[in-house]
Amino acid sequence: MNDEKMYRRALGSFATGITVVTVRGPDEAVLGMTVNSFSSVSLDPPLVLWCLDKSAALFPIIEKCDAFCVSVLSEAQEDISNRFAVAHQHETDGLALTSGATGVPYLSESPTNFQCSVHAQHEAGDHLIIVGRVQAFEVTSDAKPLLYYKGAYGSIEG
Ligand X SMILES: Cc1cc2nc3c(=O)[nH]c(=O)nc-3n(C[C@H](O)[C@H](O)[C@H](O)COP(=O)(O)O)c2cc1C
The smaller minimum CB distance to ligand X, of residues 4 and 44, is found at 4
What is 20-47 written as a DSSP string? EEEEE-TTS-EEEEEE---EEEETTTTE
Closest by CA position to 136, among listed 103, 110, 109, 108: 103
Q: Looking only at residues 48 through 87 of this chain, which bind ligand X when binding is defined by CB under 6 A?
A: 50-53, 56-57, 84-85, 87
Q: Residue 94: what are its φ and ψ, rounded to 5°?
A: 85, -5
The smaller minimum CB distance to ligand X, of residues 55 and 158, is found at 55
The smaller minimum CB distance to ligand X, of residues 20 and 158, is found at 20
The smaller minimum CB distance to ligand X, of residues 15 and 96, is found at 15
Residue 148 interacting with ligand X (CB under 6 A): yes
Residue 34 interacting with ligand X (CB under 6 A): yes
**Which residues fall within 8 angstroms of residue 50, CB to CB, at 6 or more apart?**
19, 21, 35, 37, 38, 39, 70, 129, 130, 132
Rounded Cα distance, 129 and 146, in Å: 23
Closest approach of ligand X to the CB of residue 133, in Å? 19
Rounded Cα distance, 71 and 58, in Å: 17
Rounded Cα distance, 91 and 104, in Å: 14
Closest approach of ligand X to the CB of residue 34, in Å? 4
Closest approach of ligand X to the CB of residue 54, in Å? 8
Residue 20 interacting with ligand X (CB under 6 A): no
Residue 129 interacting with ligand X (CB under 6 A): no
Closest approach of ligand X to the CB of residue 10, in Å? 16
Rounded Cα distance, 150 and 158, in Å: 21
Residue 152 interacting with ligand X (CB under 6 A): no
Residue numbers of the site for ligand X (CB under 6 A)? 18, 33-37, 50-53, 56-57, 84-85, 87-88, 148
